[in-house]
A and B are shown apart, each in its own frame.
Chain A
Amino acid sequence: DVKVTQSSRYLVKRTGEKVFLECVQDMDHENMFWYRQDPGLGLRLIYFSYDVKMKEKGDIPEGYSVSREKKERFSLILESASTNQTSMYLCASRELNQPQHFGDGTRLSIL
């Protein structure tokens, strides 16, 4: 079974802090994704990566950056956290032409 692990289930940070969300997958997948999930808005793609050190912007990249130094790890970075970034963040990975597998999410609160 594919396992996508997000390092924190809950995280509370302060406005202006630099925040790192970590995601690790154990199946040597090429593609990895970061989404945010908000009530009434569904899942929205922030960034995705199709290989080590490669990344592409999703639909809502503003205020975020990503890092993929190793194939199994994909990090989401909030450069200067703001209250409107309070959300559930979901990481996913997949092999080419296969379904995406999701982690259980990180619920991030920015105070």
Chain B
Amino acid sequence: QQQVKQSPQSLIVQKGGIPIINCAYENTAFDYFPWYQQFPGKGPALLIAIRPDVSEKKEGRFTISFNKSAKQFSLHIMDSQPGDSATYFCAASSREGGGNKLTFGTGTQLKVEL
């Protein structure tokens, strides 16, 4: 059972475009929503994270939008660059069990073309 559903599976945008990756969750106990970025041959690295007490968080060109009532959150990449080409994973966890268990989405392969 996939508790965090991520879409699309892959995405191609032109340089300067704004790719949007969406995630939806079912477990209302989730209270921490990170996004990870993974380059080929490397492990995932934390990109940005949000808690449900805010509806939006920006860090540089990366923005998370969060809709608690719809149980959805999304990643927007402003002014995308070829160097942003990577696989992106959303994830979620709850304070239950000390917040140890991250549940990941299935990933989105992003390609930014010149």
Is B43 a contact partner of A42 (Cβ separation < 8 A)? no
Residues of A within 8 A of B104 (CB): 42-44
Please indicate which of the listed interface residues A43, A48, A56, A105 has the most CB atoms of chain B within 10 Å of its own CB: A43
Is A105 a contact partner of B6 (Cβ separation < 8 A)? no
Is B43 a contact partner of A105 (Cβ separation < 8 A)? yes
With an 8 A cutoff between CB atoms, is A64 at the interface? no
With an 8 A cutoff between CB atoms, is A22 at the interface? no
Q: Give the number of chain B interface residues (Cβ < 8 Å).
A: 21
Q: Give the number of chain A interface residues (Cβ < 8 Å).
A: 24
Is A100 a contact partner of B102 (Cβ separation < 8 A)? yes
A-B contact pairs, 18 of them (CB 8 A): A33-B100, A40-B9, A40-B107, A42-B6, A43-B102, A43-B104, A44-B104, A48-B100, A48-B101, A50-B98, A92-B43, A99-B46, A99-B49, A100-B102, A102-B44, A104-B42, A104-B43, A105-B42
CB distance from A107 to the nearest CB of B (A): 9
Please encode chain A, from 35 to 49, with 1 for each CB lying within 8 Å of some chain B CB and 0 for all others: 000001111110010
Tell me what chain A mostly uses at the interface: helix, strand, loop, or mixed: strand
Chain B residues engaging chain A, CB cutoff 8 angstroms: 6, 9, 34, 36, 41-46, 49, 89, 98-102, 104-107
Chain A residues engaging chain B, CB cutoff 8 angstroms: 4, 31, 33, 40-45, 48, 50, 56, 58, 90, 92, 96-97, 99-105
Is A45 a contact partner of B101 (Cβ separation < 8 A)? yes
Closest 10 CB pairs of A and B: A102-B43, A42-B104, A42-B106, A43-B104, A99-B46, A104-B43, A102-B44, A42-B107, A103-B43, A104-B42
